[in-house]
Amino acid sequence: ASLQALKAARWQGPTPQADAARPALALALLDCLASPDPVLRDGIAFEALQAWMRGRVLDEATVRQVQQRVGALLSAPPDAAGLVQPFAALVLAEVARVDRLQPFLQPDERDALVKLSASYLQGVRDYRAFDPREGWRHGVAHGADGLLQWALNPALTRVQADALLAAIASQVLPAGAHAWQHGEPDRLMAPVFYLARRPFLSAAEWQAWLVGLAARRAPAVPTTALALAQRHNLGMFLNSLYVSVA
């Protein structure tokens, strides 16, 4: 009830004492990212962490502790429920956003987190998205949101950009005959769109990257579930990218 009241107050503590307790509460809420209750996991824990980091009311030491905790979650093997890692990825995206707007990471720290974000997205094999009882998992979409924040970061290097693009390419055509249906191509497209606005890749290199995506498709003949799913997924991604560029 107290957390619901805090949410109703737009995550602003009613007293100075409540504000002073915010760092400890932020760290405690990280445990709720594994909750099977979407109200607690998504509607409270993630919303609070996002609001506080975007509102710049968490000090650097607390943000670093958040980063370390969610980084450890993403580095561990996936849990059976498949809930905690997608939300850890989403929280890490907020850490990346903090660093984009108010840089606090050293180059080697940033490089390690960019690699972790890319590795997580590339390794997602749990393609569950929305469940009426348990809410969102959405590992690919949440992972792509993290890559979007790194793509926008002025400190990003060409080598890091290549790592982001390789991770995205791996999920445009996911493993097996899974067909995206919950907006994943739009989320995968966003970091590509913003990387294209930066001077990393030449037109010829972008052409090669796009041709490489198409080359990974299964043969269209004979018709198979895999070929149909890949045609759908690639088309959704390219159409989204085309509309954004246009």
- The C-alpha angle 243, 245, 246, rounded to 5 degrees, equals 65
Give the helix/strand (H/E) hosting 21.
none
d(CA 145, CA 95): 12
* Residue-level pLDDT at 227: 95
**pLDDT value at 15 more than 80:** no
In terms of Cβ atoms closer than 10 Å to its own Cβ (0-12, 13-18, 19+), residue 100 is middle
Query: How large is the average pLDDT for residues 73-96?
Result: 97
Asked whether the beta carbons of 146 and 90 are under 8 A apart, the reply is: yes
| 180-196 confidence digits (pLDDT tens) | 999 999 999 999 999 99
User: DSSP class of residue 183?
Assistant: S
Residue 114: CB atoms within 10 A of its CB come to 27
How confident is the model over 149-183, as pLDDT tens digits? 999 999 999 999 999 999 999 999 998 999 999 99
CA angle 15, 28, 151 (to 5 degrees): 100
CA-to-CA distance for 118 and 96, rounded, in angstroms? 13
pTM for the model stands at 0.95
